[in-house]
């Protein structure tokens, strides 16, 4: 198996295989980061040497609905023992939903030496590879982060409205039932606050799960992804794209696919997503 996962992707270095991870478990220049939906998953068993980044506790401001600032991110990286030269490898449950979400947040602070383990926990467990409940002992680093940059890959609600009025392309990665307003949330999940259902006008509905193989969570080859996004939905690699979902986690997965696997030049994640848009007064909604 090759060192990196290359199925015709624009940036094959953005993905590593479970085999690559297995060979680098003792590499001091590699830090494995597990990020899951539930905080109960990591302590039940994780890849040896992996540290946990919890999407609520570690990535979000405890008061404001926003991400941590430069000081908070520096402190997080110091606690994880990360240096500016450390290669980060993200993985997790839900076919890497939260791994891609954490990857995306880390890119806001410019740590570009980052990769995703193809298939996440599902593939690692499917292959019968080792898990442990022992948390690694890691010496703190002196990492100093750059300021968070929201301009390049993140977009806010007024910018989304401006983008919509200018005829920009949007991709709604939720399920068809959510997109059509039949559900205010994912099936079997609680309603997280949206009072109206539907989608942002003109948005294409391309559910995130169409980009992965359901049996092991690995990403589909580039040829299949191009057929899905470029041919079936007429997206173009030079489009100015905005992706969104419910709270930004599934859309960060699609952001990763479009940006790194297909090489789209400008893709921004609307992390406010439907929990915000479905509560705003006076914004347009389609069903």
CA distances from 56 to 26, 118, 134, 155, 210 (A): 28, 23, 22, 20, 26
Q: Which position has the token pair 């994912």?
A: 186
Query: Distance between CA 31 and CA 27 in Å, rounded?
Result: 8
CA 285 to chain centre: 25
DSSP bridge partners of 46: 132
Q: What are phi and psi of 91, to 5 degrees?
A: -155, 165
Task: Identify which of 252, 242, 253 has the alpha carbon closest to the alpha carbon of residue 277.
Answer: 242
CA distances from 47 to 42, 73, 121, 265 (A): 9, 23, 9, 33
Task: Identify which of 35, 187, 9 has the alpha carbon closest to the alpha carbon of residue 98.
Answer: 35
Residue 245 among the catalytic residues = yes
Task: Identify which of 270, 181, 221 has the alpha carbon closest to the alpha carbon of residue 5.
Answer: 221
Looking at 122, 245, 257, 262, which residue is catalytic? 245
Give kind and range of the element (H or E) at residue 34: strand 30-34
Task: Give the three-class secondary structure for 31.
Answer: strand
Tokens of 88: 């980060």
93 neighbors 121 (Cβ within 8 angstroms): yes
4 neighbors 15 (Cβ within 8 angstroms): yes
Which residues participate in catalysis according to the annotation? 245
């Amino acid at each position: 198996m090759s060192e990196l996962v290359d199925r015709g992707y624009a940036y094959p270095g953005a993905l590593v295989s479970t085999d690559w991870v297995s060979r680098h478990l003792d590499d001091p220049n590699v830090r494995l980061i597990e990020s899951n939906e539930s905080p109960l998953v990591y302590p039940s068993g994780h890849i040896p040497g992996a540290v946990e980044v919890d999407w609520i506790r570690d990535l979000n401001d405890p008061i404001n609905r926003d991400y941590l600032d430069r000081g908070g991110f520096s402190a997080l990286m110091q606690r994880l023992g990360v240096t500016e030269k450390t290669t980060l490898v993200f993985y997790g449950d839900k076919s890497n939903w939260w791994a891609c979400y954490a990857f995306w947040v880390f890119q806001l602070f410019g740590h570009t030496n980052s990769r995703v383990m193809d298939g996440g926990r599902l593939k690692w467990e499917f292959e019968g590879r080792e898990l442990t409940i022992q948390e690694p002992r890691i010496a703190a680093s002196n990492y100093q982060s750059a300021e968070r940059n929201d301009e390049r890959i993140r977009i806010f609600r007024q910018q989304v409205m401006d983008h919509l009025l200018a005829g920009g392309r949007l991709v709604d990665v939720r399920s068809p039932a959510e997109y059509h307003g039949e559900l205010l949330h994912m099936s079997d999940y609680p309603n997280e606050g949206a009072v109206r259902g539907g989608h942002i006008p003109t948005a294409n509905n391309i559910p995130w799960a169409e980009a992965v193989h359901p049996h092991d969570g690995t990403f589909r080859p580039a040829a299949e992804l191009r057929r899905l996004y470029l041919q079936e939905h007429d997206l173009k690699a030079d489009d100015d794209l905005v992706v969104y979902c419910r709270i930004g986690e599934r859309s960060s997965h699609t952001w990763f696919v479009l940006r790194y696997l297909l090489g789209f030049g400008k893709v921004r994640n609307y992390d406010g997503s439907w929990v915000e848009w479905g509560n705003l007064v006076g914004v347009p909604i389609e069903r």
